[in-house]
């Protein structure tokens, strides 16, 4: 019976991927979530139905993602937990028995920008906002907002440095290359793969 269920799930995933131009390989990824073009979900990763994922973002193996919005071209590693359920330690008991007859909890969404790198075994708590281009170091526990192009590390995560100067960050935020057409992005691979100094030379071409 279990084998038959897995076969059916694989058939459903193949059909879904073909229709939506996605690469979802996990039976634990809820197809009621919002997956944009080119999204990749690796095996054993859980995705809840209250998740949206932008173009060409990917999540590696054995991660768990719920209650969040993820932007375009994000790189999310293995063992990452985004918005896991949290117990309220201000209550008399932290056990869920006290919520049996209560209203559903209102949870604050995690919002992740574009081109964000989330490294191995990171935990991001409820309500956190992560700006475009940010980098979260391996094993970090993110309890508060992360600014665009900021690098944070540690438990809890703290500021390490910014990836670029304030001027270059402002230029990249205005450029918003992740909103280019796929054709323009592929035509500017050399530019996107260059050091940050390239942003000032404007050595890129997009169709307008």
Whether the predicted pLDDT of 195 surpasses 70 = yes
- Asked whether residue 159 carries a pLDDT value surpassing 80, the answer given is yes
The whole-angstrom separation of Cα 57 and Cα 36 is 9
How high is the mean pLDDT of the chain? 91
- How buried is 90 (Cβ within 10 angstroms: 0-12 exposed, 13-18 middle, 19+ buried)? exposed
Beta-carbon neighbour count of residue 182 at 10 Å?
A: 11
Q: Over 90: is that where the pLDDT of 112 sits?
A: yes
Q: ∠ at Cα 186 (32, 184), nearest 5°?
A: 90
Cβ burial, residue 187 (10 Å; 0-12/13-18/19+): middle
Between 4 and 141, residue with greater pLDDT: 141
Say if CB 158 and CB 152 are below 8 A apart: yes
Does the annotation mark 87 as catalytic?
A: yes
For the stretch 48-101, pLDDT in tens is 999 999 999 999 999 999 999 999 999 999 999 999 988 878 888 888 777 766
Give me the residue label for tokens 């323009």.
184
| Closest listed residue to residue 117, CA positions, set 182, 59, 169 | 59
Structural domains in the chain, sorted by start: 2-163 (2.160.10.10), 165-208 (no CATH)
Q: How far apart, in whole angstroms, are the C-alpha atoms of residue 118 and residue 141?
A: 11
Query: Which is higher by pLDDT, 7 or 175?
Result: 175
Residue 51, strand partner residues:
68
Average pLDDT over residues 159-181: 95
- Is residue 50 a contact partner of residue 66, using CB atoms and an 8 Å limit? yes
Please tell me which residue in 20, 87, 95, 129 is annotated as part of the active site: 87
Specify the residue for token string 């100067």. 165
What does the pLDDT look like over 39-49, one tens digit per residue? 999 999 999 99
């Amino acid at each position: 019976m279990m084998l038959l269920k897995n076969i059916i799930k694989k058939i459903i995933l193949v059909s879904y991927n073909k229709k939506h131009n996605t690469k979802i390989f996990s039976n634990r990824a809820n197809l009621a979530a919002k997956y944009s073009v080119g999204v990749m979900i690796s095996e054993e990763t859980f995705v809840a139905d209250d998740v949206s994922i932008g173009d060409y973002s990917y999540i590696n193996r054995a991660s768990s993602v719920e209650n969040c919005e993820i932007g375009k071209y994000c790189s999310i590693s293995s063992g990452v937990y985004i918005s896991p359920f949290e117990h309220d330690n201000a209550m008399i008991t932290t056990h869920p028995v006290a919520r049996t007859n209560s209203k559903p909890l209102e949870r604050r969404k995690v919002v992740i920008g574009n081109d964000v790198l989330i490294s191995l075994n990171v935990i991001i708590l409820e309500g956190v906002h992560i700006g475009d281009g940010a980098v979260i170091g391996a094993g970090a526990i993110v309890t508060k907002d992360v600014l665009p192009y900021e690098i944070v590390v540690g438990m809890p995560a703290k500021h390490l440095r910014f990836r670029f100067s304030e001027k270059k960050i402002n230029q990249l935020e205005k450029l918003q290359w992740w909103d280019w057409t796929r054709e323009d992005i592929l035509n500017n691979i050399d530019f996107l793969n260059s050091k940050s100094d390239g942003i000032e030379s404007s050595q890129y071409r997009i169709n307008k």
